[in-house]
Structure 1
C-alpha cells in the first residue's frame, strides 16, 4: 500500500512543481522593468490666483521605476519628486512656495507617489491609482491616463514607455493651507509626464 502511494506521489510531483512555477511567475513579476528618465519626467501644476489668473510651474528631475505588462494588464510605478526643483518662472514666487507657508522644503525635501492599482480598457491604460506622500502626509489619488505608450526608440535602441497623466488635488488635505480661502485656490491641477527606459 505504501509503495502505491509513493508511486502516485512521484507521478504527480513534477506536475505540481510546474503549476507552482507558473503561479509564482504570474503573481510575482512583470514582463519588463523600466528606469524613469529624470530629464524627461516632470510634474507640472496650475493654481488659480485671485479667481482670475492661473499660476503655473513644475517639479523636475523626477526619478523612479516602472514595471509594466500589457498582456497581464498589470503595472506598478514609483516616483520620487524633488520639491527643491520647483520652478514657476518667478524667483519671488518660487521662494514663497518653497518656504514654510507652503511646501517647506527644509522639512519635506521630496514627495513620493506609489501606485496601487492600474486600470485598463482592453489593452489601453485608462487610470492609475496610488498614494501621494507630500508635506509629510499621505493620501490616495487617481491619475487619469491621457496617454501611455511603449515603443522601440530608434535613437536609444531600446524600449521606452511614455505617459501623460492628470489629476486635481486639494492641497489642504496635505496641510498646505496658506491663502486657501483668499488669494490662491486650494485646488491644484497636476500633469505628470513620464518617460522610462527598459532595463
Structure 2
C-alpha cells in the first residue's frame, strides 16, 4: 500500500501543470465601445459609449475563452450634447426602453497563443444577432501600475443597423456601422 501511495504521489508530481480558466474584469476606465458610420457619404462619424462593463474568461493552455460585455447605451458620446439626446431617441438607440446592449460570446478562435476572432450574440434594441468580432490586437501581461495580470484587446465588426431596428435615414445615413471595442481587463 505504501508503494502505491508513493507511486501516485510521484505520478502527480510528474504530471504537467494544467492552467485553469482565469477571469478578468473589464476596466471601465480604459474600455470603450465605439461606432462609426457614413454621414450622407460626406464623412465618417465617430461616437463612443463611456460606460462598458463585463468579464473575460481565458484558459490560455486550453486555448478557450468567453467574453461577456454590457454597454450602457445612455452613456453615448457623439461629442455634441444635443445629438447625444437625439440619438438616444426611439429611432436610434431608444435608451428609455433599452438602456443596455450586450455581447455574449459563443466561441473564441485562437491562432497560436492569441485569440483572433470572437463569435457571439449581440443584443441591441431587443434584437439578438450572431456576429463575429475580428481581434486586431491582443496582449496579456502584468499591468505596469496595478501589478496584476491584465489583458488588452481591440476588436471590430460591421453590422447593419437596420437589422437592429435602428435604420432611420438609411441609406443616406449609412446602414453599415463599424463597432470597435478597445478593452482592458484586470485579473480578479
Tell me the TM-score normalized by structure 1: 0.83
Match of 2:144 among 138, 154, 157: 154
Q: After TM superposition, give the deviation of residue 92 of structure 1 in Å.
A: 2.2
The alpha-carbon distance between structure 1 residues 154 and 142, as it changes in their structure 2 partners (threshold 3 A), is: same
Q: How far does the alpha carbon of each residue in 1:9-56 deviate from its partner, in whole angstroms, 9 at most, with x for none?
A: xxxxxx9xxxxxxxxxx8xx9421111111111101111011121111
Q: Give the distance between the partners of 1:96 and 1:30, measured in 2 at CA.
A: 46
Higher helix share: 1
Q: Give the distance between the partners of 1:192 and 1:177, measured in 2 at CA.
A: 22
**163-172 or 93-102: which moved more?**
93-102
Which position in structure 2 is the counterpart of 1:33?
Answer: 23
Q: Give the distance between the partners of 1:122 and 1:166, measured in 2 at CA.
A: 20
Tell me the TM-score normalized by structure 2: 0.87
Q: Give the distance between the partners of 2:39 and 2:135, measured in 1 at CA.
A: 27
Could you say what the CA RMSD is over the residues aligned between the two structures, in angstroms? 1.7
Match of 2:175 among 166, 186, 195: 186
Paired residues, what number?
173
Which position in structure 2 is the counterpart of 1:55?
Answer: 45
Q: Which runs of 5+ in 1 are unaligned?
A: 1-14, 16-25
Which position in structure 1 is the counterpart of 2:95?
Answer: 105
Q: Within 5 Å, which residues of 2 pair with 1:80-119?
A: 80-119=70-109
Runs of 4+ with >4 A deviation? none
Q: Give the distance between the partners of 1:172 and 1:30, measured in 2 at CA.
A: 41
Which position in structure 2 is the counterpart of 1:3?
Answer: none
Kept after mapping to 2: 8 A contact 1:58/1:88: yes
Q: After TM superposition, give the deviation of residue 124 of structure 1 in Å.
A: 2.1
Which structure's CA Rg is the greater one? 1
